[in-house]
Structure 1
Amino acid sequence: MMKRSVIVSLCALFTLTQQAPSVDNCACELTHSETVFPHDKLTKVKDSASQCNSNINRRKTLELDKLLQGLEQRLPQLQKDLSQLEMEDDEDLYEVLSLYVIENELREVNQLINRLNMTTRTHQHLANHTTKQLEEMRVEMQELETYDTMQVMKTQQDNQRMMKDLNQCKTGHHSIAKPTQPPPGNCPHGKFLNITGPRVNTQGEYPGSYHYGAWGRDPKPEAGKKKWYWLVMLTSENKFSNYVRLYSSLSALVVGVSAPGDVQIHTSNPTTNTIQGPNVVLYGGALYYNCYNQPAVCRFNLTAKTVSTLQLPKGTRYNSNGNFCHLDSCYLFTDLDLATDESGVWVIYTTTQDFGNLVLSKVEEGEPPRLGQTWRTLVYKRGVTNTFMACGVLYATRYVNKDVEEIFYSFDTTTGEQKFNVGIFINKMSPNIHALNYSPVDQMLHAYCDSNMVSYKVLFSGMAPKPLDQPPMFLDLGSGSAEDMNDTLLDMEDPWDDVNEWWKA
């Protein structure tokens, strides 16, 4: 009996042991009273905030401000010109030139108004859309705040506000530094008064062959090259070139005797770092121009035969997207305009950030050249046909008719003053002026007009012109052949020296 009892007890113990749960299989159930944080909603709010920041920025406001400032400048000038036109009334016969000017001004004002209306509609649509987005974000953020039971975010926001107030308190006792001003200007010639001429009109050695190009003198010539002239013709599709042609004097240029001849940038045309567009200048023995297929200025050293580049700011328009224009057409590949004056080299261009308005930058010499101070204007580049610099002042022209161009705008880099009523007229020898270069060597304005090379005398208040007891010297040297004039002109002193001496007398 005893043995049976022991056996039964052992069997029962074995059964209980088998049924007991293993320690490795132990599981606990945790009940959390908080709801799950909606990460998808937070991501949606972040995306909406990022979109608002990209759509609403200072650039949008600046665009509207620039258009309003442009209208503010143009409308009083238009009213003044209309009053002047009424005074010119003579038995119902109005001054034709004044009518052309007013017609151009009306078109430009209408263009500004159209751009303003379009911009205002766009901004209104954007404002309505953004207001709706902000309201949705506000509701979602209020909902998300309910998950911050420990008020971590609220504490961080309070700390940020305190830090901001502390920084304002620290900086509030310090005076704000005044912005630096450019050095005062000093034009040795006095105030820009007028342009006379043309004084020289020639087609050179390629009559009617190359419609786009530029020519002039080096304001900072190398030794022995004081009287030299340079010529760049766009020889490929009226868009590109790969060399600069040199002449030992004005006489040599007129009769087509080039010495030392062509200085080639590259054997191919066009290719990397060759010339794109007609707006080029020569300064200090180097040619400055728009690099081929780049928003950049190239500097070609004529002696070393080397090219260095200056990249312009991001957003600079190039490849015929920011041209000079008039009512009928635009001048291809005039995105960048290089200019020289008494202080050196300048570049005039436009950017997407400036909404098509002219931007002016100083080009500092060096290898490579670098971008100096920059100024922004209120004049729309596509309403301008050409620009040039004289004594630190930017001048812009516009097309009046096939016989007349008007210098209508100026921007003084010393004072920042802008004028839309300069009112100096240029008598053209051809309908289109593709390039204008001011020469501080002799105060001449060199124009390249439909393959014609034309020069005008710039008159400043510091000059005392000789009384006009005889007609001004006008050298129309393009009518005869090079062979007929070669014997006489090449033996003469440079005829331009006579013109300069006549004006200085």
Structure 2
Amino acid sequence: MKDPEPVAPFTRDNTWRVDTVGTEVRQLFQYEEAEQLAKGYPAKVHILPRPLESTGAVIYRGGLFFQPRHSRSVARYDLRGETITAEREIPGAGYHGQYPYSWGGYTDIDLAVDETGLWVIYSTEKARGAIVLSKLDPETLEIRRTWETNIRKRGVANSFLICGTLYTVSSYSAPNATINFAYDTATGSSRALSIPFENRFRYLSMLDYNPAERQLFAWDSFNMVTYPVRLSRA
């Protein structure tokens, strides 16, 4: 992960990593730059006050936003103060295997950042497993607005947001997968897509958009992968 809107002393060169395998995941690895990450030598290791769950965390505006384990909450860990500064329950959100992406991994609650701010992607019993989107205040984690889509969360491998539009990926393992749906929060409408998407190492478990770099950051079978994004007005 990288922070698209870093707060001093951190910069856009700082790279962050979490190992989300296991039950007591508390370590957040901080690197000065991607090259240091490739060599495997962190500049610092943060020990989170609460263990996190799944691969849905993001770094944004000087904080790590994550889902605490066994909860339907999201929390903000301040990277400078090294404390949790906000935590809020997402009403009705499924957690710990109720509405994950198709690959599993307790990915019920997925945080995302785009040009417009901080989002949380999840589902509820009321939505019957369809993806629900909420825009969050990055300081208080208060829900500003919520959208209910007609896209089944278990039916897609992962998702991300760009410019207020949710995009989903068809498969986490197929080499010739597609970006198969888009949901536009401005119009409240969805449409089918067929944009080629390559799972290079056949097991995509994390996918996030970085609006500062206009790249998708992915974790694919123990490989760090980036996908350059070209935007058009159409």
Per the shorter chain, which TM-score range?
over 0.9
For residues 70-105 of structure 1, what are the alpha-carbon distances to aligned partners after superposition, in whole Å with 9 as ceiling and x for unaligned? xxxxxxxxxxxxxxxxxxxxxxxxxxxxxxxxxxxx
Q: Tell me which of 41, 53, 76 is aligned to 1:257.
A: 41
* Residue 126 of structure 2 is aligned to residue 342 of structure 1: no
Task: State the match for 1:428 in structure 2.
Answer: 199
Equivalents in 1 of 2:107, 2:142: separation in Å? 21
RMSD after superposition: 1.5
Q: Tell me which of 303, 324, 334 is aligned to 2:80.
A: 303
Q: How does 1:211-230 map to 2 (within 5 A)?
A: 216-224=1-9, 225-230=11-16
Q: CA deviation at 1:235?
A: 4.0
Task: State the match for 1:438 in structure 2.
Answer: 209
Q: CA deviation at 1:400?
A: 7.5
Q: CA deviation at 1:432?
A: 1.4
Aligned to 2:42, what secondary structure does the other structure show? coil
If asked which structure has higher relative contact order (CA below 8 Å, sep 6+), I would say: 1
Q: Tell me which of 163, 186, 191 is aligned to 1:414.
A: 186
Q: CA deviation at 1:360?
A: 0.2
Aligned to 1:415, what secondary structure does the other structure show? coil
Q: Tell me which of 348, 354, 369 is aligned to 2:127.
A: 354
Q: CA deviation at 1:337?
A: 0.7
The amino acid of 1:232's aligned partner reads: V
Say if 1:310 and 1:371, in contact at 8 Å, map to a contact too. no
The amino acid of 1:310's aligned partner reads: R
Q: CA deviation at 1:398?
A: 1.2
Q: Tell me which of 196, 203, 221 is aligned to 1:450.
A: 221
Q: Which has the higher helix share?
A: 1
Equivalents in 2 of 1:340, 1:442: separation in Å? 12
From the superposition, tell whether residues 446 and 309 of structure 1 become closer, same or farther in structure 2 (CA, over 3 Å). same
* Residue 103 of structure 2 is aligned to residue 323 of structure 1: no
Task: State the match for 2:136 in structure 1.
Answer: 363
Equivalents in 2 of 1:223, 1:309: separation in Å? 23
Q: CA deviation at 1:401?
A: 5.2
Equivalents in 2 of 1:352, 1:398: separation in Å? 23
Q: Which has the higher strand share?
A: 2
Equivalents in 2 of 1:288, 1:435: separation in Å? 15
Mean Cα displacement is larger for which, 425-434 or 357-366? Answer: 425-434
Say if 2:62 and 2:80, in contact at 8 Å, map to a contact too. yes
Aligned to 2:35, what secondary structure does the other structure show? helix
Normalised by the size of structure 1, how large is the TM-score?
0.44
CA radius of gyration, larger in: 1
Unaligned runs of at least 5 residues, structure 2: none
For residues 375-403 of structure 1, what are the alpha-carbon distances to aligned partners after superposition, in whole Å with 9 as ceiling and x for unaligned? 00001111011010111111111117531
Equivalents in 2 of 1:400, 1:299: separation in Å? 28
Q: CA deviation at 1:302?
A: 1.4
Q: How does 1:235-246 map to 2 (within 5 A)?
A: 235-236=21-22, 240-246=24-30
Q: How does 1:353-392 map to 2 (within 5 A)?
A: 353-366=126-139, 368-392=140-164
Say if 1:245 and 1:263, in contact at 8 Å, map to a contact too. yes
Which contiguous aligned blocks of 4+ residues in structure 1 show a shift greater than 6 angstroms?
Answer: none
Q: How does 1:131-170 map to 2 (within 5 A)?
A: none
Aligned to 1:399, what secondary structure does the other structure show? coil
Equivalents in 2 of 1:394, 1:461: separation in Å? 16
Q: CA deviation at 1:363?
A: 1.0
Q: How does 1:20-99 map to 2 (within 5 A)?
A: none
Equivalents in 1 of 2:96, 2:122: separation in Å? 12
Equivalents in 1 of 2:65, 2:173: separation in Å? 30
Percent identity (aligned): 30
Task: State the match for 1:149 in structure 2.
Answer: none
Equivalents in 2 of 1:300, 1:404: separation in Å? 37
Q: Tell me which of 158, 169, 174 is aligned to 1:397.
A: 169
Equivalents in 2 of 1:282, 1:293: separation in Å? 21
Say if 1:288 and 1:300, in contact at 8 Å, map to a contact too. yes
Equivalents in 2 of 1:404, 1:435: separation in Å? 17
Equivalents in 2 of 1:374, 1:418: separation in Å? 15
For residues 343-379 of structure 1, what are the alpha-carbon distances to aligned partners after superposition, in whole Å with 9 as ceiling and x for unaligned? 221000000001110000001122x321110000001
Q: CA deviation at 1:301?
A: 0.9
Unaligned runs of at least 5 residues, structure 1: 1-215, 267-272, 463-505
Say if 2:172 and 2:205, in contact at 8 Å, map to a contact too. no
Q: CA deviation at 1:404?
A: 2.5
Equivalents in 1 of 2:117, 2:172: separation in Å? 30
Equivalents in 1 of 2:51, 2:205: separation in Å? 19
Equivalents in 2 of 1:340, 1:395: separation in Å? 13
Task: State the match for 1:233 in structure 2.
Answer: 19
Counting matched residue pairs gives 231
Aligned to 2:202, what secondary structure does the other structure show? coil
Say if 1:400 and 1:406, in contact at 8 Å, map to a contact too. no
From the superposition, tell whether residues 294 and 407 of structure 1 become closer, same or farther in structure 2 (CA, over 3 Å). same
